[in-house]
């Protein structure tokens, strides 16, 4: 299990839940599990989110591995500027 922190507006989309435990070995599995467990997150995830694993932010990187020891945050999609 991986402990995941939902950041910003994602918390309200998950019904006010801030931290969840998810069974996932990579980002794709993580996002699929979150969408299934918290249907309110599904449309937000479909629009795009960023995932921070141990301080490194990933966008559109489906198969980046996640371990139970990883520090994981899911953030609303970030636009560059």
pLDDT averages per 10-residue partition of the chain, 81 residues? 95 95 97 96 94 93 95 84 54
In which domain, by residue range, is 63 found?
2-76
Within a domain: residue 42?
Answer: yes
How many domains are there within the chain?
Answer: 1
Which pLDDT does position 22 carry in this prediction? 96
**CATH classification of the domain holding 11:** 3.10.20.30
Q: Report yes or no on 11 lying in a domain.
A: yes
Does residue 81 lie within any of the structural domains? no
Strands (E), the chain: 2-6, 19-22, 49-53, 56-58, 72-76
pLDDT of 57 reads 93
Q: Say if CB 34 and CB 20 are below 8 A apart.
A: yes
Question: Does a structural domain hold residue 30?
Answer: yes
Asked whether residue 27 is domain-assigned, the answer is yes
């Amino acid at each position: 299990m991986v402990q995941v922190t939902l950041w910003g507006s994602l918390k309200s989309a998950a019904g006010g839940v801030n931290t969840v435990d998810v069974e996932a070995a990579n980002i794709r599995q993580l996002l699929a599990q979150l969408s299934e467990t918290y249907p309110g997150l599904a449309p937000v995830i479909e629009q795009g989110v960023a995932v921070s694993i141990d301080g490194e932010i990933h966008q559109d990187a489906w198969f980046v591995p996640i371990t139970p020891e990883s520090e994981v945050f899911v953030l609303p999609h970030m636009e560059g500027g």
